[in-house]
């Protein structure tokens, strides 16, 4: 269950307005894959400046009583960090890192696992990141990233200036 989704910082979204900077629009599909079905969990879209990093965080906080009877909160989240970089005449280098935080009931502690993928793909091609299988329902989380290089920004010439 996705309780919250945070998609990239406002600074990165505003950055596409800077003159001369290239931006990349990215569509992300978050899928839950079962043996006989696929469920679209989320479909966020954003714009990131060439070479900048953005992140997608989804999940929940789990309240647990500690030995003293006080409530502690553990993250049960998946964070995806993505950094696209335009490689002239070749495509887009997509660096993607997944950070999965869970709670181990038996050990009463936070667990963290990470995975990283870097791949050079073409404009409007899709890169897939598949996370490990959920033992409870045998499902897998799959992330599909489709980047598109936006047209070069139009820099208006100043009247009387040199072109």
**SS3 state at 35:** coil
Show pLDDT as tens, one digit a residue, over the chain (163 residues): 333 344 433 343 344 344 567 899 999 999 999 989 999 988 988 889 999 999 888 889 999 888 898 999 999 998 999 999 999 999 999 999 999 998 888 888 899 999 999 999 999 999 999 887 777 778 888 999 999 998 876 555 555 555 5
* Domain-wise residue ranges, the chain: 4-149
User: Strand pairing partners for 37?
Assistant: none
User: Strand pairing partners for 54?
Assistant: 82
**pTM score:** 0.72
Answer whether 79's CB lies under 8 Å from 99's CB.
yes
The DSSP code sequence of 75-123 is: EEEEEEEEEEEEETTTEEEEEEEEEEEEEETTTTEEEEEEEEEEEEE-T
């Amino acid at each position: 269950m996705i309780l919250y989704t945070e998609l990239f910082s406002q600074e990165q979204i505003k950055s596409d307005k800077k003159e001369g900077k290239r931006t990349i629009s990215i569509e992300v599909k978050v899928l839950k894959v079962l043996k006989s079905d696929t469920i679209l969990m989320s479909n966020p879209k954003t714009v990131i400046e060439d070479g900048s990093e953005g992140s997608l965080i989804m999940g929940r906080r789990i309240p647990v009583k500690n030995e003293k009877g006080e409530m502690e909160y553990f993250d049960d989240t998946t964070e995806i960090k993505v950094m696209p970089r335009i490689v002239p005449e070749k495509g887009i280098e997509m660096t993607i890192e997944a950070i999965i935080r869970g709670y181990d009931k038996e050990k009463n502690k936070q667990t963290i696992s990470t995975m990283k993928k870097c791949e050079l793909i073409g404009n409007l091609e899709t890169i897939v990141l598949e996370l490990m299988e959920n033992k409870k329902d045998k499902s897998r989380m799959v992330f599909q990233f489709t980047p598109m290089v936006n047209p070069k920004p139009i820099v208006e010439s100043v009247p009387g200036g040199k072109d």
